[in-house]
Amino acid sequence: MAERTSVEQHAARVEALLAGVLSLGSEQIALDGALGRVTAGPILSPVDLPLFRNSQMDGFAVRAIDVSTVPATLPVVGQIPARASQPNPLQPGTAVKIMTGAPVPLGADAVVPVEDTGAATGEPERASVTIVRSRVAGEYVRERGSDLRAGAQLLPGGLILAPRHLAALAAAGLAGLEVRSRVRVAIVTTGTELVAPGTAPQPGQTFDSNAAALIALVTEAGATVTFRAHVMDDAAQLVATLHEARLVADFTITSGGISMGDYEVVREVLEDRASSAPAGPIVDATVGTIAMQPGGPQATAIFDGMPLICFPGNPVSTQISFAVFLAPLLRRAAGLHARTTSERTLTVPVTSFAGRRQFLRGCAVGDTEVEPVAAPGSHLVAGMASADLMIDIPTATTDLEAGESVVTWAL
């Protein structure tokens, strides 16, 4: 029996196959669609922040020297609301009522909050105001550009945009920005036995969970799903679907149809065994089993210039395969942080298959331990859902005792 390809060798094959489509440029997008995107380069502020000298408080704009001794009663010569206006300069010995965010007039160098006067909050216009607490020059005055000067860096390149970043961009008047382009991915699930969630399955049918999983996984990894299809065990339908996907995607992920049994439609097409529907422009096809559990069956190819990454159809195998082979590449291309790995100790003994690198599902226990959940089976979707870690068991390891150290991957 030929030696199986290692996980590392297959990972290198996938990376080489996708190298050309993961090196993307940038695109201009609107601000309201920028959450979670990654800045293509540094963004400079086109304006001073704040845009103009304004009040930090509701109160009275004064000259600090006029309130150095308190109580001090000053005539109120007007009021300045927070709206477009150009207030008159403040004359010595006077005060002007001012609202938060309103422009501070020339001549005024401090704002006395309402609480530090004899006036009541919301009180209408008055002839004078008594200041009961002195203020020094600059207090409660936001100077123009005190947050950031025009031309200075507002946000760095390579930043994953959060709501606070979008607020800063909007405050600088930017309605759009340059972000890294997203890899476009097509998802094709296969199997005549699959039906969509929400329908009534007939005997022998099962729900297609791989479509939902792959759409979510691709999106979470910073790429975008531009095509989604399900095909029966029909080579002609698969070839036609791949032609459609090629028009709108950089590469395609398939699930199912690559094992050793009959009705393996992806294997038939990649190996050009479907005489009724010749695969056509397929090159560099590799279909086989790697030294990994779950996820042993794997395949890759180029279809009419478009890379194909073909995963096994069992739901846990599909998800583990994505985490091992695609998530690191897509996250790096998108500028996202890699999933963390850490060493933890087992809470219970585990056994593994000889000659296969096994990825068990586990849950973190405290800061240092991991507890395996469910059995190793590749169909146990509920067990997968309860896990937050993958436990990476090396190929040569068959038995581990409780307390031994293992590498874990964050899911």
**Tell me, what's the pLDDT at 1?**
43
pLDDT grade for 273, boundaries at 50, 70 and 90: low
pLDDT above 60: residue 121: no
Q: Provide the residue ranges of all domains of the chain, joining segments of one domain with +.
A: 7-24+182-334, 26-49+149-180, 54-142, 341-410
Instruction: Look up residue 290 and give its DSSP letter.
Output: B
- Residue of higher predicted confidence among 276 and 86: 86
pLDDT above 90: residue 240: yes
Least trusted range by pLDDT, from 15-29, 112-126, 182-196: 112-126
**Tell me, what's the pLDDT at 271?**
87
pLDDT grade for 383, boundaries at 50, 70 and 90: confident
Structure tokens at 45: 């502020």
SS3 336: coil
Going 326 to 327 to 329 to 330, the CA torsion angle's sign is: positive
**Tell me, what's the pLDDT at 260?**
80
**Tell me, what's the pLDDT at 375?**
67
Q: What percent of the chain has a predicted confidence (pLDDT) above 90?
A: 82
CATH topology of domain 54-142: Molybdopterin biosynthesis moeA protein; domain 3 (2.170.190)
pLDDT grade for 382, boundaries at 50, 70 and 90: confident
Q: Are strands 59-62 and 110-113 parallel, antiparallel or unpaired?
A: antiparallel
Give the integer Cα–Cα distance in Å for 76 and 94. 6
**Tell me, what's the pLDDT at 119?**
66
What architecture (CATH level 2) is domain 341-410? Beta Barrel (2.40)
pLDDT grade for 276, boundaries at 50, 70 and 90: very low
Give the integer Cα–Cα distance in Å for 175 and 188. 36
pLDDT (mean) for 381-397: 90
Give the integer Cα–Cα distance in Å for 321 and 359. 10
Confidence (pTM)? 0.83
Q: Where are the beta strands (DSSP E) in 94-160?
A: 95-98, 110-113, 128-131, 141-142, 153-155
**Tell me, what's the pLDDT at 380?**
75
**Tell me, what's the pLDDT at 177?**
97
Q: Are strands 72-80 and 128-131 parallel, antiparallel or unpaired?
A: antiparallel
What type of residue sits at position 234? D
Least trusted range by pLDDT, from 15-29, 124-138, 313-327: 124-138
CATH topology of domain 7-24+182-334: Molybdenum Cofactor Biosythetic Enzyme; Chain A (3.40.980)
CA proximity to 46, closest of 153, 143, 186, 205: 153
**Tell me, what's the pLDDT at 19?**
94
Helices and strands in the chain, H and E counts: 8, 27
CATH topology of domain 26-49+149-180: Molybdopterin biosynthesis moea protein, domain 2 (3.90.105)
Give the integer Cα–Cα distance in Å for 24 and 157. 15
Computed over every residue of the chain, the mean pLDDT equals: 92
